[in-house]
Structure 1
Amino acid sequence: MALYADLHRHLGGSVVPRVLWRYLQRNDSQLVDQFPGYAEFEDFYTRPRNTLDEYLELHTLVEGVQTVEALPYFIYRLMRGAYIFENLAYLELRYTPYLRTPAHLSQSERIDLMTEIVQVVGQASQLNEYPIVTSQILCMHVRLPYEVNRAIVDLAAHNRDYVCGIDIAGGDNHYGERMEEFVRLYAYARSLGLNTTGHLYETRDGCHAELLPYLMRIGHGIQIPLQQPQLLKQIAEQKQCLEICPTTYLKTGTLDDISQLKHVFDRCFEAGVDMAICTDNAGLHNVRLPFEYENLLTHDVIGFEQLQACQDAAFKHAFAWPYGQRPASLLNGLLHPEISKSVFEKHPASAK
């Protein structure tokens, strides 16, 4: 029975090493020739990097492979693994559609092709054999001009059947010079009624309070409890949720040890700030969501009650989860008919 929700998973970083390797082999990719064998490729693909910028370079490798023709191949395997190995009931996939269009085309041509990318991702994610509720978060990007980022916001607004929100990617340490521009884009997105999250307060150089008022969730946000705990009261009052991705901070050199996250969780729980535990880039890390849970527990970062609170928060703050409770509550209702009747009366959508 699928029980979990992942609110922060990048399409580019979701491809596990073996799946990507097989695709490259079958399509005679020149990338294969750079490695003596799979072991060397996996080591290159999953090893820790020294900085966030170095880490994000790996996304460009996968983005070039995830063409409109190849996306169904990758998404099918992603959904299969998420259902069978991770027990996911809900998944939000985020990516920059512009970066999946052919690089040799003009900017206007690439913008026009973004709609097809969103539709292909949306259709490929709907699998009867792996029934996971899915939706997309479209990412603006620090490397893209204002016109393209605004087109991404418009694309999200016009494709609500497939898209549940927007984000900004590319490294929160690069927002500074364009902060006014990004604030304008987020204000525009909120004016359109779009849900918003954003990579923010992930690194010491990514502490941009100007964006906080426009976000419903905060992508990472760990530097708030670590560096600016005075903001936690405000975060709690605004009912913003932090998307915590434990393995990421070790892979990017942001943290030296997972035990440092204990300060993050303790301070957020004390302040009443919700947190959802996520994978971020499950393929790049070769780590699935249940392992993120287990790793936090075995290193005494959180306890089981805190874990359950984070799992509840994930469904509570999910942009496109259609039911009033998390799946465990619905299952409990099925096992106890008197509870089931009460649940369905309060939340008729869950009876469908």
Structure 2
Amino acid sequence: MSLYAELHRHLGGSVVPRVLWRYFERNRPDVSERFEGYPDFEAFYTRPRNTLAEYLELHTLVESVQTQEALPYFVYRLIRGAYIFENLAYLELRYTPYLRTPEHLPQHERIEKMAEIIEVVGQTSQQSEYPIVTKQILCMHSKLPYEVNQAIVELAAQYSQYVCAIDLAGGDAKYGDRMDEYTTLYAHARELGVSTTGHVFETQDGCHPELLPYLMRIGHGIQIPLQRPDLLREVAARGQCLEVCPTTYLKTGTLEDLQQLKVVFDRCFEAGVDIAICTDNAGLHNVRLPFEYENLLTQDIIGFEELQACQAAAFRHAFAWPHERQPGSVIESMLRRQQLTHLMGEEIDEPAVHG
């Protein structure tokens, strides 16, 4: 059995439509009553949007119900589904903790409550019945003030038992006017020993090369090979990995056809830039990681060797995978030892031949 690593999944978009609908029916009838029934809700929730900005508005629907009290409900089902249906051995789950705190509180109280959110997600993620190595990535957000984003960076360092990195989210087209803030925060994170990734070069409006030197991985980054292939040599030299989420680009209107990703993979492989294939928002897309793999293969965007290279890259670039090898190689070693033991046993049991 193959086991996989998922490096780019949002807590807000990870809830599959059926689970979210059941929660609304039981706890938020004010939301469920907006729809005629589940099919109507699923069609609304999973349909493609015209732009990334329109697509991101859907996150607010889920963030509003992922309160401290409700998070165990969502996180438990997320981990269960990832283990049973996706064969995940490793999962980095990203979100903005501030957006899970009560909106009616003043900013300083919401900042204080972020630690409680991190602890709830961290504790609920550790499920002995579904043994996935799970860590959090805390997202700074382009719509949040500097003070909140700074607190997010410092909490990432403080809660290293649960958190493996920070991110910057909210739509990469909005970063420009605050670039000095973000580079300062990323530099601060690196000084604190916190790993870094960031949503950048996802859309044509989000090309910010000045952020790249601060990132250990690049969230999406598909516009580098598409629009700025001259940067690929620098990306390869830094050992940065692109977190490519194929279905996202169709859902956000960033790409018209998945075939456009063939250029992304071809140019990255040629330049020696690693790619980890991810889901981004598995629930929002109603798509799981193995389907992302299959879709790329069946449409001849990559071959099996390239897929295996991407799967290996995901474990290699994982911020908190605790082993030197990926789980598949461990299982292969076990099988080889069993075969060797079996062969040695046959030699010992073979009757002696006397002349």
TM range (shorter): over 0.9
Once residues 2 and 169 of structure 2 are traced to their aligned partners in structure 1, the CA distance between those partners, rounded to angstroms, is 29
Matches within 5 A, 1:154-193: 154-193=154-193
Q: Which amino acid aligns with 1:107?
A: Q
Residue 324 of structure 1 is matched in structure 2 by 324
Residue 291 of structure 2 is matched in structure 1 by 291
CA offset digits 1:126-168 (Å, max 9, x no partner): 0011000000000000000000000000000000000000000
CA offset digits 1:247-299 (Å, max 9, x no partner): 00000000000000000000000000000000000000000000000000011
Query: Is 1:208 aligned with 2:208?
Result: yes
Once residues 312 and 86 of structure 1 are traced to their aligned partners in structure 2, the CA distance between those partners, rounded to angstroms, is 16
Once residues 321 and 327 of structure 1 are traced to their aligned partners in structure 2, the CA distance between those partners, rounded to angstroms, is 10
Aligned partners of 1:2 and 1:89 also within 8 Å:
no
Query: Is 1:68 aligned with 2:104?
Result: no
SS at match of 2:14: coil
Q: Which amino acid aligns with 2:334?
A: L
Residue 243 of structure 2 is matched in structure 1 by 243
| 1:218 to 1:228, Cα distance in 2 relative to 1, 3 A | same
Once residues 29 and 109 of structure 1 are traced to their aligned partners in structure 2, the CA distance between those partners, rounded to angstroms, is 29
SS at match of 1:308: helix
Residue 310 of structure 1 is matched in structure 2 by 310
CA offset digits 1:210-239 (Å, max 9, x no partner): 100000000000000000000001100100
Q: Which amino acid aligns with 1:168?
A: L
Once residues 310 and 2 of structure 2 are traced to their aligned partners in structure 1, the CA distance between those partners, rounded to angstroms, is 16
Residue 150 of structure 1 is matched in structure 2 by 150
Q: Which amino acid aligns with 2:7?
A: L
Residue 92 of structure 1 is matched in structure 2 by 92
Residue 34 of structure 2 is matched in structure 1 by 34
Cα offset, 1:334, TM superposition: 1.1
Residue 229 of structure 1 is matched in structure 2 by 229
SS at match of 1:85: helix
Query: Is 1:18 aligned with 2:9?
Result: no
CA offset digits 1:75-98 (Å, max 9, x no partner): 111011100100000000000000
Cα offset, 1:338, TM superposition: 8.3
Cα offset, 1:2, TM superposition: 5.8
Cα offset, 1:336, TM superposition: 1.5
Aligned length: 341
Once residues 96 and 75 of structure 1 are traced to their aligned partners in structure 2, the CA distance between those partners, rounded to angstroms, is 15
Q: Calculate the TM-score normalised by the size of structure 2.
A: 0.95
Instruction: State which structure, 1 or 2, has the greater radius of gyration over its C-alpha atoms.
Output: 2
Q: Calculate the TM-score normalised by the size of structure 1.
A: 0.95
Structure 1 segments unaligned to the other structure (5+ residues): 341-352
SS at match of 2:81: helix
Query: Is 1:45 aligned with 2:36?
Result: no
Residue 194 of structure 1 is matched in structure 2 by 194
Cα offset, 1:337, TM superposition: 2.0
Aligned partners of 1:2 and 1:83 also within 8 Å:
no
Aligned partners of 1:198 and 1:219 also within 8 Å:
yes
| 1:106 to 1:339, Cα distance in 2 relative to 1, 3 A | farther
Once residues 28 and 171 of structure 2 are traced to their aligned partners in structure 1, the CA distance between those partners, rounded to angstroms, is 32
Structure 2 segments unaligned to the other structure (5+ residues): 341-355
% same residue? 73
SS at match of 1:34: coil
Cα offset, 1:333, TM superposition: 1.1
Residue 344 of structure 1 is matched in structure 2 by none
Q: Which amino acid aligns with 2:37?
A: G
